[in-house]
Structure 1
Amino acid sequence: MTSRNVIDERALLEQFQSGDEMAFDRIFTMFHSPLVFFANRILLNIGMEISKEIVLDVFLKLYDRREAFETLSNIKAFLYISVRNSCIKVIEKEKVNQKRFDLYTKNFDEFEKNVLDNIVQTEVYEELYKAIDRLPETYRQIMGRIVSGDTPKEISEELGIPVSTINTQKSRALSILKKSLSGAGIALLIIYS
């Protein structure tokens, strides 16, 4: 390298380190296109836009750390290593997304069945709760507690009513509910019988 080139490089670095925009533009112009090409090759042509975004992000990091570089070679090494590392992160993220997608498509039928089962179950429960809300007050109170998981003995102790009365009112409430529920609602009701 001639002494003129060394002087030009030193001047460019000093200007760049002091935050001179023109010096930053010169460095950007020097390395931008090769770095985009480099990123695109690593990313196996995932997309030129992603390559450009990576390079721009790396240049922002370069500018933030501008005072740490002593030569253009240091800057060049930093840029290429940073672009490579950013590309690897994109590839790893892409792999995770691909695994997630593969898992989703592999289990899609099971997933859809579970979603449909949950929808049906929710609608049946809604039908049951609406029917319970239409019961007379005492029946509604007892059936609401039974559906919530309380036993007749627990309800008896809390309400101060004999267990036999709880069971009688439960039977009457079930009889009323059976007349107002659909087949699926009755099936669910049988669980609480």
Structure 2
Amino acid sequence: MKTSSLSPSSSRKENQDLRLFAQLEEGKYEALMLLHQKFYRPLCRFGAMFEQNTLIIEEKVADVFIELWTRRDALSEVKYPKAYLYIMARNKLLRTAKGESLLTRIHDHLNYSNAEQPSHEEELIHQEEKQINQKRIEDILQKVPERSRRVFEMSRIEGFKYREIAEILGISYRTVEQHVAITIRTIKNNLTDH
């Protein structure tokens, strides 16, 4: 006889979290505050696995809730809010760790490199080209079906792994691959047209 892996209380908690996400999507700030009350401390404890500095952990966990509020219009697709929050916290902390090592390498390179610095004009041109390309990609993404675009953003912008996206959205790993492939194909096709 098979038994459910979820206890009734954990199932109830998941339903409460889903309701809070739905309320958050409707713009109810109180829902964000309740999620913050419930998850802030556990996420900080979890963050200690990735970072030793308590201030950085607290800042990144706070960023999770800020991002949750600013991206609340995309929460309807989230099937497992708790997993979503923990993955967001982990990714933010991992990016911080990667960023610190990258900044250290850049700093070391600048200190020991005799390479020429680009001129101010070259820097402005580079920035403008970067902005133009970013705008083109944003315009192209508007042509992609909403679900594929959201999966792509979770993968490439928010840093979720395919397995995590599948779990959060309640879809198969293969479906995640297909959504990302559709988006990449659309971007490539539209970039080569210009």
Same fold flag (TM > 0.5): no
TM-score, structure 1 length as denominator?
0.43
Bigger-Rg structure (1/2): 1
**Is the helix fraction higher in 1 or 2?**
1
